[in-house]
């Protein structure tokens, strides 16, 4: 079903383009899968959000910290922590969108968090699947030139069967569109590599994953994907 594909898109498309600078410590902790640091940063961001309830950027930063923590929890297989982090982030994300409904990035992040919640428990597709789909679509509507938004759509198509309008070939085009918009977006190269590998194009996949690892040398997940992809 399309909702399932869209929540997976949201689950694995994390923040790379934001309305203001991302805390470099947060990026470093996500890239290195440092869960202790992510827990600390999420707690601090949540505290700030409580104190500044009417500041959209503060709510966004709290949602982002929760999303990074959920992402790493998903990568290491901790579904319980992924679920709790995602649900915490959804509250902040909804608040950010309510304060500024014209921010494409706010909508994209909220969709990501809804997807992460479902990723941690597929039975929640009825609860959060529509949110994941609608928020990603809204992000694209508001900012059709955002490379990261096309990565999100591409991941959705990657998981959606061709018989239902998706498929790896369509996903590859989305990832290529994202790269055309931003050739230095590591997420786009990462997912293009994964899609090419699924299409049986191992050499091309390896090359794209190498680019992703080069662009984000500290990103553990990119290195893991590269290591499992044959060069030929």
What number does CATH give the domain 145-232? 1.25.40.10
Q: Is 223 exposed, middle or buried (0-12, 13-18, 19+ CB in 10 A)?
A: middle
Mean confidence (pLDDT) of the chain: 87
Q: Is 54 exposed, middle or buried (0-12, 13-18, 19+ CB in 10 A)?
A: exposed
Kindly state the percentage of the chain with pLDDT values over 90: 65
173 pLDDT tier (thresholds 50, 70, 90): very high
Neighbours of 98 (CB within 10 A): 11
Write phi, then psi, for 200 (nearest 5 degrees): 85, 10
Kindly state the percentage of the chain with pLDDT values over 70: 88
How large is the average pLDDT for residues 18-25? 70
CA-closest candidate to residue 14, choices 128, 150, 182, 148: 148
Residues of the chain with CATH 1.25.40.10: 145-232
d(CA 101, CA 128): 19
Tens-digit pLDDT profile for residues 42-72? 999 999 999 999 999 999 999 999 999 998 9
183 Cβ partners below 8 Å, 6+ apart? Answer: none
112 pLDDT tier (thresholds 50, 70, 90): confident
pLDDT of 90 over the 50 cut: yes
pLDDT of 40 over the 70 cut: yes
Instruction: Identify the CATH assignment for 1-143 out of 1.25.40, 1.20.58, 3.40.720, 2.40.10.
Output: 1.25.40
How large is the average pLDDT for residues 162-190? 91
How large is the average pLDDT for residues 109-133? 80
- pLDDT of res. 111: 84
- pLDDT of res. 206: 97
123 pLDDT tier (thresholds 50, 70, 90): confident
Token reading at 97: 């969108």
180 Cβ partners below 8 Å, 6+ apart? Answer: none
Q: What's the full length of the chain, in residues?
A: 232
- pLDDT of res. 182: 97
6 pLDDT tier (thresholds 50, 70, 90): very low
Give the per-residue SS3 of 66-127. Answer: HHHHHHHHHHCCCHHHHHHHHHHHHHHHHHHHHHCCCCHHHHHHHHHHHHHHHHHCHHHHHH
How large is the average pLDDT for residues 134-156? 87
| Tokens 């428990």 -> residue | 121
> Are residues 18 and 64 in contact, defined by beta-carbon separation less than 8 angstroms?
yes
How large is the average pLDDT for residues 94-103? 97
Better-scored residue on pLDDT, 29 or 158:
29
d(CA 96, CA 107): 9
pLDDT of 120 over the 60 cut: yes
């Amino acid at each position: 079903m399309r909702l399932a594909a869209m929540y997976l898109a949201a689950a694995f498309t994390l923040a790379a383009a934001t309305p203001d600078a991302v805390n470099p410590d947060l990026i470093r902790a996500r890239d290195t899968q440092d869960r202790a640091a992510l827990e600390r940063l999420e707690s601090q961001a949540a505290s700030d959000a409580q104190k500044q309830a009417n500041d959209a950027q503060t709510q966004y930063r709290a949602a982002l910290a929760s999303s990074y923590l959920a992402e790493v929890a998903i990568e290491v297989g901790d579904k319980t922590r992924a679920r709790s982090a995602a649900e915490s982030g959804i509250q902040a994300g909804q608040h950010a969108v309510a304060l500024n409904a014209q921010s494409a990035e706010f909508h994209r992040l909220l969709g990501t968090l809804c997807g992460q919640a479902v990723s941690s428990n597929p039975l929640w597709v009825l609860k959060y699947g529509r949110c994941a789909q609608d928020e990603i679509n809204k992000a694209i509507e508001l900012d059709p030139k955002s490379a990261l938004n096309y990565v999100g759509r591409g991941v959705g198509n990657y998981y959606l069967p061709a018989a239902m309008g998706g498929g790896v070939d369509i996903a590859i085009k989305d990832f290529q569109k994202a790269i055309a918009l931003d050739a230095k977006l590591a997420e786009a190269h990462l997912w293009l590599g994964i899609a090419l590998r699924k299409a049986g194009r191992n050499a091309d996949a390896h090359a794209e994953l190498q680019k992703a690892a080069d662009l984000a040398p500290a990103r553990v997940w990119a290195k893991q994907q590269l290591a499992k992809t044959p060069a030929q």
